[in-house]
Amino acid sequence: MPESTPKANPIAQELTAQIQVGLYGTVGHLARQLRLIDKVAPKLKENGITRQISVDRLRRRKAAGFAATHTSTEAFGGLLFAVGVLKHELISEDSTLSHAGQDSRVTVGDMTHLEADRRLAWKQNDLMYDLLQATFESENGLPDYIILGVPLLFGREIYALGFEDEGLRSEIEKLKNRAEQFWEANRRRCFPFDPKGPRVATIHTGRPSEILRALLQATPGHAVSPDRLGAELGSLLENHKKALLSANINRVMIGLLAPGCRTAAWSSADSMDSRAFPRSLITEGMLSFCYQAGLRGGITQVETLGGPDRWTSEAVDDLASSLMALTVFDHRSAEPLPLWYAREALAPIRKKYQGKSWLDVYKGMVKKAMRGEQVEAAWLRGWEENS
């Protein structure tokens, strides 16, 4: 029996026709868009949207990196969890690195599934404040740079959706009060409030387009950046706003940001919602910028204490230079060495040995104790003495 000829697919035919008809029109649109961006981008650079940084690697710097992690596993209808934070201090001078010590906090326990991810983040941040408090109370003095792998500000995403639950409300309120009390007591000891204080910065993957968005949304008369920006920048952005947004504003900035450069700094606390905290940091202002340390390195975003009115362009350059100097390796996920060492030291919390993690061992011990009725015996021990 002869095979039947497959029927033509009308969707495939329509797609083929559309591609053939629209090909040259698409090429023309893209070419015009690229020509416009090629024309605007150099003018953005000339007006100070990016800056070349002179990196001084010879200077002595004492820096501390603070990293945090958490993990969990299903167990008996709930979760077993482990949360850890670690500080790694080192001293960098010329090509010499010396490690100045570590400090850490770890907690292991059980919890329900209710808002588990957020509650683990709350526990992680609470431990981080334990470590920060110990650092600021240490008799060894404060480092020159405190580099955090967790946010300084917490917005609406930190809140639980079921916030009406009393237990959830008390947990987030505990973290909120802890953060407020810590920064009320220690903010004035940090740069730029104290010129000799440590520079506190949190770093994460960068979005260099934020400087352009901040300038486009700026209120007249409100300081956005401590950097000296060109007089033409405002009109340039306004006249080419549609073209920049159409071409993907982030891609434009990635093309402008070369190795060893940073973006102009911008005020980053203005867009926080009313429930964000710590309020004392938001009230005093926060400053952000992005930089690229090496040829193969990714773009890093920095957020630090103090608004644009408290910083100078030279002080921002100095912070960027120090973070670049502390970023020794040139690869996609490179970060300042103190933070890298801190993250690596936390690996045992998540790492598996011979197919098992620490939580798997913990789970096995819990199961064994329950089978041996050790739990019931422990609960009854105190009752028997009192009877």
- Tens of pLDDT, residue by residue over 188-246, are 999 999 999 999 999 999 889 899 889 988 877 677 999 999 988 888 888 888 878 77
Q: What is the pLDDT of residues 277-328, one digit of tens each?
A: 999 999 999 999 999 998 888 899 999 999 999 999 999 999 999 999 999 8
Q: What is the pLDDT of residue 381?
A: 58
User: Which residues 6+ apart lie within 8 Å of 275 measured at CB?
Assistant: 155, 156, 159
Whether the per-residue pLDDT at 123 is higher than 80: the answer is yes
Q: What is the pLDDT of residue 373?
A: 64
Q: What is the pLDDT of residues 26-37, one digit of tens each?
A: 777 666 666 767
Angle at 49 between CA 47 and CA 51, to 5 degrees: 100
- The residue-averaged pLDDT of 58-78 equals 93
Structural domains in the chain plus CATH codes: 51-350 (3.30.2170)
Question: Between the CA of residue 325 and those of 210, 259, 287, 335, 337, what are the distances in Å?
Answer: 24, 13, 20, 10, 9
Q: What residues pair up with 83 in beta bridges, in sequence order? A: 70, 107
CA distance 199 to 360: 40
Q: What is the pLDDT of residues 246-255, one digit of tens each?
A: 777 888 888 8
> End-to-end distance of the chain based on CA atoms, in angstroms?
92
Q: What residues pair up with 63 in beta bridges, in sequence order? A: 90, 145
Angle at 157 between CA 155 and CA 161, to 5 degrees: 125
Higher pLDDT, 383 or 342: 342
Instruction: Give the model's confidence band at 269: pLDDT under 50 very low, under 70 low, under 90 confident, else very high.
Output: confident
Higher pLDDT, 365 or 63: 63
Question: Between the CA of residue 299 and those of 144, 209, 210, 330, what are the distances in Å?
Answer: 23, 11, 13, 12
Q: What is the pLDDT of residue 376?
A: 62
